Amino acid sequence: MRNPGWAGAALIAVALTVTACGTGSGSSAGGAYGYGNQNTQATQAATASASPSSVMTAALKTETTPVGTILANSHGLTLYYYSADKRGSGMSACTGGCATAWPPLAAPVKAPAGVRLPGPLGMITRPGGVRQVTINGFPIYLYAGDKAPGQDTGNGAQGSWHVIKIHATSSASTGATGKAKAKALKVTRTQAGMVLASSRGLTLYYYSVDKPHSGKSACTGVCATAWPPLAAPVKAPAGARLPGRLGVITRPNGVKQVTLNGYPLYFYTGDKAPGQAKGNGIGGSWHVIKIKAS
């Protein structure tokens, strides 16, 4: 799905079953900095909006996830927008039970240093008085299923919730040409042996249904929910001989996916920590990439 009004497209980590979202009769709950008691958060946010001079403006952050660099709140929790919202309408379509699962990001906030956001920061006032941050006219939310920085378990939920992919512009994140700095892959020990992993140590996979060197991925839609693509750029791990050349394909939504020996590479959302390879052999089609150290 193309995400309206955004400079980049978001792929998904995993679509969890969440409370159905729509207009509801309950009051909107949420906050910028966690979950806990929703009513308490709403009260705090409303109090903050009533006394804006007493509230410190928290700086947003960026985090690295399987789908790339995304925007997060000041505590590192992933932020989302809802494609059912109408850009620039000044309203949120996520209220009641929806806002329990997807708490609004409360104002005020400021952009991360050295980062170009995909639109200006703004603000709307929700029916309960809570002031919600907007970016490029879209209200911004957290997801109650994310418990730690770097998680993006709400991405792609119901086909309507999306992370906010960003492109850092600071010298720490880019090279002399202004392009993203390639991160080195790793070799990790698993029950399947020594395998290729991401820069964070998460196991990588190839999909035997893909046709090598076709320039395409056969894993889209729901498949890509469970098997997010490895985003470019990357570089080979030191001291390891890869079973082919690294390359790149461009997915339909513009995301550049790394390939190895012509096969697109993926993560598996069932792997939560380095050394796990729970996706190996699933459906007889998903396989780790075994590595022999040189």
pLDDT at 175: 44
Nearest 10 degrees: CA dihedral of 110, 113, 118, 121?
10
Domain boundaries, the chain: 38-168, 183-293
pLDDT at 198: 92
* Cα 201-204-210 angle, rounded to 5 deg: 170
pLDDT at 216: 94
Residues of the chain with pLDDT under 50: 1-54, 169-178
- CA dist 163 → 46, 69, 282 (Å): 26, 10, 27
CA 274, chain centre distance (Å): 19
pLDDT at 55: 57
Which secondary-structure segment (H or E) carries 101?
Answer: helix 97-101
- Cα separation, 199 vs 40, whole angstroms: 39
pLDDT at 26: 33
pLDDT at 13: 36
pLDDT at 1: 38
* Alpha helix positions (H), 227-271: none
pTM for this model (two decimals): 0.48
- CA dist 36 → 96, 128, 161, 171 (Å): 17, 19, 22, 37
Alpha-carbon dihedral sign for residues 192, 274, 72, 144: positive
pLDDT at 113: 82
pLDDT at 60: 94
